[in-house]
Amino acid sequence: MKLLRFGEPGHEQPGLWDNDGNIRSLSEVIPDLAGDILSDASFQKLNKIDVSALPLVQKEVRLGPCVAGTSKIIGIGLNYADHAAETGAKVPTEPVLFMKATTSISGPNDAIEIPRGSEKTDWEVELGVVIGKRAKYVSKDDAFSHVAGYCVVNDVSERSFQKDRCGTWDKGKGCDTFAPLGPWLVTRDEVPDPQNLRLWLEVDGHRYQNGSTSTMIFDVKTLVSYISQFMTLLPGDVITTGTPPGVGMGQQPNVFLKPGQTVRLGVEGLGEQEQQTIAAK
């Protein structure tokens, strides 16, 4: 299933994307895409619904973040060897973890705000892993049973805040609008191999990123298991798994986002995002 949320910010309703490319409302079936609704048992019930009987929603409606109730976003840094190389960093021997504020979450086509004082706002197309079942000290073998599904994430990053302002990466990662999620939460059963997905990103029509999740240093099951050794993952939590090469910081000379640009990105089978950049008020 391709599950989604639609409507104005703060008032999103649950829905799904049917096989004909229509949005169907699930608001009379489930309260939202959050908590226990993200479990395997819940998805099995949803799979039995007569989709054609669900109300149609106009395609022009705003799409919201594809999951609700997120308690945390855990980012993985330098998870592609070629991306580490372009940034001048060493390939890590363990996953590099950072946090993105939940206030950074936005819809897949909402505007990206260039923060006040920003000089180096950058882009990162990533595979997002949405947790569906509480995970604490889980093994690699059991990791996938805790995954609800996958989504596209743009891990927007302000490199000066991240690298030049002392401390951890978090303040360069958690600005408002820095975590567009969606358009869909694609359930785990529709993504048999998350390590074989193409990723891409364009700015103003220029293709900067072209990669594959096959080149991740630490794969999805390793990441879920590893993170669960340090913190409990809850339904709705999102792991954003790293980016392939082609970020603005890796260009010679560097290229960073300015107000008035268009960013398009996608992950194979998980849909596409398109954002306009604007100055933060």
User: Does residue 273 fall inside a structural domain?
Assistant: yes
Stated as kind and residue range, the H or E segment containing 86 is helix 81-86
φ/ψ bin of 246: left (φ > 0), alpha (ψ from -120 to 50), beta (otherwise): left
Q: Is 200 among the domain residues? A: yes
136 is written with which tokens?
A: 């604490």
Residue type, 158: E
Range of the domain at 167: 67-279
Q: Is residue 255 part of a domain?
A: yes
In this structure, what CATH number is given to the domain that contains residue 256? Answer: 3.90.850.10
Asked whether residue 15 is assigned to any structural domain, the reply reads no
Q: With respect to residue 46, please indicate whether it lies within any of the assigned structural domains.
A: no
pLDDT per residue over 110-133, tens digit each?
A: 999 999 999 999 999 999 999 999
Q: Is 102 domain-assigned?
A: yes
Q: Give the pLDDT of residue 169.
A: 84
**Number of domains present in the structure of the chain:** 1
* pLDDT over 70 percentage in the chain: 100
pLDDT digit string (tens) for 40-49? 999 999 999 9
- 19 pLDDT exceeds 90? yes
Cis preceding linkage at 183, omega within 30 = yes
Q: What is the pTM of this model?
A: 0.96
Summarize the confidence of residues 160-187 as an average pLDDT.
Answer: 92
pLDDT at residue 90 above 90?
Answer: no
* Distance separating alpha carbons of residues 97 and 74, to the nearest angstrom: 7
- Give a yes or no: residue 30 inside a domain: no
Instruction: Give the 3-state secondary structure of residue 41.
Output: helix
pLDDT digits (tens, 9 = 90+) for 128-168: 999 999 999 999 999 999 999 999 999 999 999 998 787 78
Distance CA 27, CA 241 (A): 30
- 27 within domain boundaries: no
> What are the pLDDT digits (tens) for 53-75?
999 999 899 999 999 999 999 99
- Over 90: is that where the pLDDT of 82 sits? no
